[in-house]
Structure 1
Amino acid sequence: MSLLSIEGVWKSFHGHSVLRGIDLEVRPHEVVSLIGASGSGKSTLLRCVNLLETVDDGTIRLDGDDITDPRVRVDDVRKRLGIVFQAFNLFPHMTVLDNITLAPRRVHGVSKAQAEEQARDLLDRFGLAGKAGAYPDSLSGGQQQRVAVIRALATQPRLILLDEVTSALDPQLVLEVLGIIRELKESGMTMILTTHEMGFCRDISDTVCFLDGGVLLEKGPPEQIFREPEHERTRAFLRSVLEAGRL
């Protein structure tokens, strides 16, 4: 059974269709990467899954539950999802520990002691054990993005959505964050990510999806997409990536 099922999803803004009949299945423990040019609909699809955007048509099911039903409790759905954006979105007036424990305590009803214990374990796991009392502006960009990932993990989500999480980082910090994503894959976390890091995408993904103009034009294993893409639009995109030195 699929953990996430997206069926015929459409989304428009001001009369312009950004997603056009998207169909996608994500199995437990699978890593699915969304690739395509800017404006192809990748981030909008993630926002629809997390209910930050309302779909115009189609259905999204999480563990078999229709989360696009207007009667659904959005907070209950988000308890099962974690999302990390390219902007870190940490609360600057709160310490790292408080940023991480906020959702477990306020949304999930976890006790302060338990939430802090779990947060410290995660900080230790990802090399930030000494930063619990630090404020975000004292951290490097790579450290802030690691904290954002830890915050998403702290609620023990069924699925994590990662939206261009390295795009705001200096090149030397990119590998640091990609290493965390690789570790999450090895631990069995189910993930959907958007990325322009094609080499990493090829290495970590179980399924790669190429979006073009809001259409999921092609999907398959990384070797198929990168070696023998079926569509000329996919081939043209990969050529442009290769010329930019990102493949």
Structure 2
Amino acid sequence: MILSCRGLRKVFGPNVVLDGLDLEVAEHEVVALIGASGSGKSTLLRCVNLLEEIDDGTIHLDGQHITDPRVNQDKVRQRIGIVFQSYNLFPHMTVLDNITLAPVRVHKRPAKQAAAQAREWLARVGLADKAGEYPDRLSGGQQQRVAIVRALVNSPRLLLLDEVTSALDPELVGEVLTMIRDLKGEGMTMVLATHEMGFARQVADRVCFIDGGRVLEQGPPDQLFGDPAEPRTRQFLARIIEAGRL
């Protein structure tokens, strides 16, 4: 297993957001996290990337206990890419500079090498001509693809995607989803929190329904969406269908 989360608990004041959550992710697997807003999906991803400190439980990455307080968190984050729904690109820097900032400043790669790798990725996602542009000259879909490339240039073992299409206009969603589908075809291990149920059904190897801070039910997409075992899962999906999102 690349990722193993055991008994994760995270509390914000009186709110228990993660309540003994367990999750395992195998190499080359794509796992989609679904659930109502506030169910803990985003918090789980932030805990995995060590952006939030867990209150109990353990997280292992490639067998290493990364929630051990003695672990160098910066080195762990070099092995995990994370992309948020807000692109978080630096507006005063070009696309190329945004992508190469961490490889050069943090990972100490030669600037020419980092730039060459960045241009290679931009070409792969159809943005080769945007390297010298500033973020405000790009569409939302293009900015989100740049944000994903920025996470990929460090060759992460695991890519976390947190509602990466939520801030996009409907007509721009497809280009980001195509990129994620292509990454799956290349064997990238991914965990994605999403409200795009149709996409989760198409691209995920496994779908996890999170409710009450736990993985209430999980399984292959056709099984979970077509014949869920838990009443709460059926209730959630019925609302999704009623809203026309599945």
Between the aligned partners of 2:83 and 2:190, the Cα distance in structure 1 is 11
Offset of 1:222 from its aligned partner?
0.8
Letter in 1 for 2:101: L
Aligned to 2:115: 116
Matched, 1:201 2:200: yes
Question: Stretches of 4+ moved more than 6 A in 1?
Answer: none
Give the 3-state SS of the residue equivalent to 1:224 in structure 2: helix
Aligned to 1:172: 171
Offset of 1:107 from its aligned partner?
1.7
| Contact 1:208/1:222 (8 A) holds in 2 | yes
| Contact 1:9/1:19 (8 A) holds in 2 | yes
Aligned to 1:52: 51
Q: Where do residues 1-247 of structure 1 align in structure 2 (5 Å cutoff)?
A: 2-247=1-246
Letter in 2 for 1:132: A
Gaps of 5+ in 1: none
Between the aligned partners of 2:106 and 2:224, the Cα distance in structure 1 is 40
Structure 2 length-normalised TM:
0.99
Between the aligned partners of 1:87 and 1:223, the Cα distance in structure 2 is 30
Structure 1 length-normalised TM:
0.99
| Contact 1:79/1:107 (8 A) holds in 2 | no
Gaps of 5+ in 2: none
Letter in 2 for 1:126: V
Q: Over aligned residues, Cα RMSD in angstroms? A: 0.6
Between the aligned partners of 2:93 and 2:77, the Cα distance in structure 1 is 22
Percentage identity across paired residues of the two chains: 68
Deviations 1:162-220 (A, max 9, x none): 00000000000000100000000000000000111111101101110001121210011
Instruction: Compare 217-226 and 165-174 and name the one that shifted more.
Output: 217-226
| Contact 2:22/2:214 (8 A) holds in 1 | no
Between the aligned partners of 1:90 and 1:125, the Cα distance in structure 2 is 19
Between the aligned partners of 1:54 and 1:100, the Cα distance in structure 2 is 27
Between the aligned partners of 2:25 and 2:213, the Cα distance in structure 1 is 19
Deviations 1:6-35 (A, max 9, x none): 011000000211001111110000000000
Give the 3-state SS of the residue equivalent to 2:11 in structure 1: strand
